[in-house]
Amino acid sequence: MENKARLIVDSISENIGLCRVTVASFAAQLDFTLSELEELKVAISEAVSNSIIHGYKEESGKIEIEMGIFDGKLQIIVEDRGCGIEDIEEACQPTYTTEGRMGLGLVFIDSFMDEFKVESKLGEGTRLKMLKVPIQDKEIE
């Protein structure tokens, strides 16, 4: 089965829950465990929160979430047109902190996904690409 969906939301914290539920509902088409669905929800919360807090800061903008199912895998892309990340490698380190925050969002995303990639350009925005495979399908491979 293949399927695609896209969700575009304003960069406000009230939309984090909507993004979590939408991605989890879409992902439920595959045989993810409840634990895996919870991991997806955390990853999406972190991705969207990062766009709101760090990408747009005090400004407003749009956050786009593209979801796709192909070959039994879930692909999620979260993209903003915010300020971008100056040093991606540094931002992905567990010791990285910003503005009094723990800075573990990208670390959590990476730990919950099977594949994770960050693309960013200063002044243009950030794109997070995530891939997750249901655990029972991993055992088959």
Specify whether 46 is catalytic.
yes
Token representation of residue 35: 């634990």
From 3, 101, 115, 124, the catalytic residue: 101
Specify whether 50 is catalytic.
yes
Token representation of residue 19: 């993004």
From 50, 79, 81, 127, the catalytic residue: 50
**Interatomic CA distance for residues 130 and 61, integer angstroms:** 22
Token representation of residue 89: 């490698």
**Interatomic CA distance for residues 45 and 106, integer angstroms:** 11
Specify whether 15 is catalytic.
no
φ, ψ at 40 (rounded to 5°): -60, -45
From 20, 46, 81, 127, the catalytic residue: 46
Token representation of residue 30: 């595959």
Q: So which residues are the catalytic ones?
A: 46, 50, 101
